[in-house]
Amino acid sequence: MASSYHEVYQGWKMDPQGFWKEAAAAIDWFTPAEKIFDPSHGVYGAWFTGATCNTCYNCVDRHVERGRKGQAAIIHDSPITGKKRTITYEELLDEVQALAHVLKELGIEKGDRVIIYMPMVPEAAVAMLACARIGAIHSVVFGGFAAAELATRIDDSTPKLIISASCGIEPGRVIAYKPLLDKAIDLARHKVTKTVILQREELSCDLIEGRDFDYATTVGEAKAIDVQVPCEPVAATDPLYVLYTSGTTGQPKGVVRDNGGHMVALKWSMQNLYGIEPGEVFWAASDVGWVVGHSYIVYGPLLHGCTTILFEGKPVGTPDAGTFWRVISEHGVAALFTAPTAFRAIKKEDPKGEFVGKYDMTTLRTLFLAGERADPDTIHWAEDKLKVPVIDHWWQTETGWAIAGNPVGLGTLPVKYGSPTVAMPGYDMRVLDDAGHPLEPNQLGNIVVKLPLPPGCLPTLWHADTRFKDAYLAEFPGYYKTADAGFIDEDGYLYIMARTDDIINVAGHRLSTGAMEEVIAEHKDVAECAVIGIADKLKGQLPLGFLILNSGVNRDPAEIEKEVVALVRDKIGPVAAFKLAIAVKRLPKTRSGKILRGTMQKIADGEEWKMPATIDDPAILDEIGETLKERGISD
């Protein structure tokens, strides 16, 4: 089919408000918007002001009311525990109402924050929806973060309650969540006085009398009396959730998502970008702790009346490199969305794709990749083995949905390998030089979005309008800074090349090297440090830390390196994947004292590099190169 993309994009450009007004008709509102876009509201304006709505109603109730009662809403497929569970829309409504009732009984009101610290179990999605139902603002924290990271999020979002579980499960180990939760509550300045804990069969935990409430007991009691909890009308501009993402320091950014614009954008994307019909099965193989999980495990598919898969496992090792194909064939998945790193992991285990042939995957129409740059090798392999279009698309926690993609629902455009294709309606993309001047096609620069951002994108950071302005809007007035560098070609295709800040991307996970440096600097024997991201065949990038030890330290540097690795794991969490720390004598710096991280990264990756004109002592770069060779990090 010929793509209607250009027509649709032009239509949006000619009449942005008309475009989003039409898209908003797919959502059920309690009261319609007075203004589609109000430039006087919030930091840069707001979408659907005056409207009231409820996200849970749109995700659950309306499907029950309109013929989807018996359809599976969530399929939990957990090869890591050997369990599977299907929850219909009707059952989901019961479960969500019951938990919403429990939350209300525990004193949660509209506008209160609730942290959700859970593994990939359906109760995590139920918790998100229960909060949405009563107008509480959830903040999901990824299970791979350590107690200190959880504590930082507790202090910033000041929740009244935390919903958690007794454990998460990683290959070969059960992770007790309760000690992490208790430690985080202890560490945080803001005191959380109530929790709801889901006890899992794999490992149960002790509950603290008066503080910890058992999920099964409380929800079970609410179900037994068949509680009805109406959906609370909230303003379209009210926050649905806060999701923390890495910034340039140890203080993560609380990305705020509103209710109205978020629903409109996600619903539009399900049909027009992903090309999915209501009733079909959509699978985002990510985690509810990431934005992909929020948007496309929970909200997008449910808003659209789809069945969503909540997968608790890994692409390899649970039990083998055929797991993804089994899930697709068993549940009739129409579209799979994951990070390229998952495919690199599968390709490494099963280069010939022999597992693919063992399953009937005729339902699969499209594979979507995001979260990191999709390398052409991985795309070619996936195309060759799966025989379906492989669509790279680019977005960020901040935007909540794709900035650029190849719109399957509108008809796909020709693929250019290495490009996530074109801007979605709502995004007016520009490439600017560092002084803010527009660049010609194919010239590398800062990728920015002309304000306003479309519905679904962050209106601000949680209780931090000034930080929001400083971090995203100040450098290029009138534009949102994506902090990605790249270019746009003569056909309007975007190319995303690198971050312009110190964020690195490890296995599709966004991590701050600055945050790691802050942790390393706490070690008593470390005088100075620098963390860079080096290329890794599997995970895309891996963090590597250089340490300068305090003078007078005469312990074995290898011992200190190990302690530093353990410290980062303990403070940030295993997800940091920080396993490489090297003690060096000196760090290369400019004459003004700036550490030359970029040059060190090029040396480590074996890329061509130029001696920076401003370098203080050129010999230090040779020393670094030698050390990297000795340690087997570069050749």
Distance CA 72, CA 96 (A): 15
CA nearest to 122, candidates 219, 256, 259: 219
Selection from ligand COA, ligand AMP, none that 157 binds (CB < 5 to 8 A by kind) is none
Q: Return the beta strands (E) in 424-539 as ranges.
A: 429-432, 445-450, 479-488, 494-499, 503-506, 509-512, 526-536
Question: In angstroms, what is the minimal distance from the CB of 433 to ligand AMP?
Answer: 19
Using the contact rule CB under 6 A, the part of the chain among 122-130, 164-172, 392-400, 458-466 near ligand AMP is 392-400
# binding residues, ligand AMP (CB under 6 A):
19
Residue 287's alpha-carbon distances to 253, 292, 514, in angstroms, are 19, 7, 24
Nearer to ligand COA, 269 or 460 (CB): 269
User: Between 232 and 372, whose beta carbon lies closer to ligand AMP?
Assistant: 372
- Considering the complex, what minimum distance in angstroms separates the CB of residue 291 from ligand AMP? 5
| Binding flag, residue 621, ligand COA (CB under 6 A) | no
DSSP H helices, 34-176, are: 55-56, 62-65, 89-105, 122-134, 147-157
DSSP annotation string for 402-425: -SEE--TTT-PPPP-TT---EEPT
269 forms part of the interface with ligand AMP (CB under 6 A) = no
456 touching ligand AMP, by CB under 6 A: no
Binding to ligand COA by residue 264, rule CB under 6 A? no
The amino acid present at 176, given as its one-letter code, is A
Among 35, 430, 499, 569, interactor with ligand AMP by CB under 6 A: 499
Return the number of the residue (140 or 494) whose C-beta is nearest ligand COA.
140
Q: Shortest Cβ distance from residue 466 to ligand COA (Å)?
A: 29
Euclidean distance between the first and final Cα of the chain, in Å? 49
Specify the residue, 508 or 545, whose C-beta has the smaller distance to ligand COA: 508
Chosen from ligand AMP, ligand COA, none, partner binding at 392 (C-beta under 5 to 8 Å by type): ligand AMP
Residue closer to ligand COA (CB basis): 49 or 341: 341
Whichever of 160 and 262 has its CB closer to ligand AMP, that residue is 262
Give yes or no for residue 394 binding ligand AMP (CB under 6 A): yes
Q: Does residue 205 contact residue 178 with C-beta atoms inside 8 Å?
A: yes
Give the binding range for ligand COA (CB under 6 A) out of 5-13, 282-290, 301-309, 389-397.
282-290
* Alpha-carbon gap, residue 93 to 132, rounded angstroms: 13
Kindly tell me which of 185 and 449 has the beta carbon lying closer to ligand AMP.
449
On whether the CB atoms of residues 299 and 55 are closer than 8 A, the answer is yes
Give the number of other CB atoms < 10 A from CB of residue 401: 27
Q: Does 247 bind ligand COA (CB under 6 A)?
A: no
Query: Using DSSP, how many helices (H) and how many strands (E) does the chain show?
Result: 20, 31
Nearer residue to ligand COA within complex by CB, 495 or 578:
578
How many residues in the shown chain lie near ligand COA by CB under 6 A? Answer: 26
Distance CA 629, CA 444 (A): 31
For the chain, the helix, strand and coil percentages under 3-state DSSP, each to the nearest 5: 35, 25, 40
- List, in sequence order, every beta strand (DSSP E) within 21-142: 35-38, 46-49, 52-53, 72-78, 83-88, 113-117, 137-140
Footprint on this chain of ligand AMP (rule: CB under 6 A): 245, 291, 370-374, 392-397, 420, 484, 496, 499, 505, 510
Footprint on this chain of ligand COA (rule: CB under 6 A): 143-144, 168, 170, 175, 285-287, 290, 292, 314-315, 338-339, 341-342, 345, 371, 506-509, 539, 574-575, 577
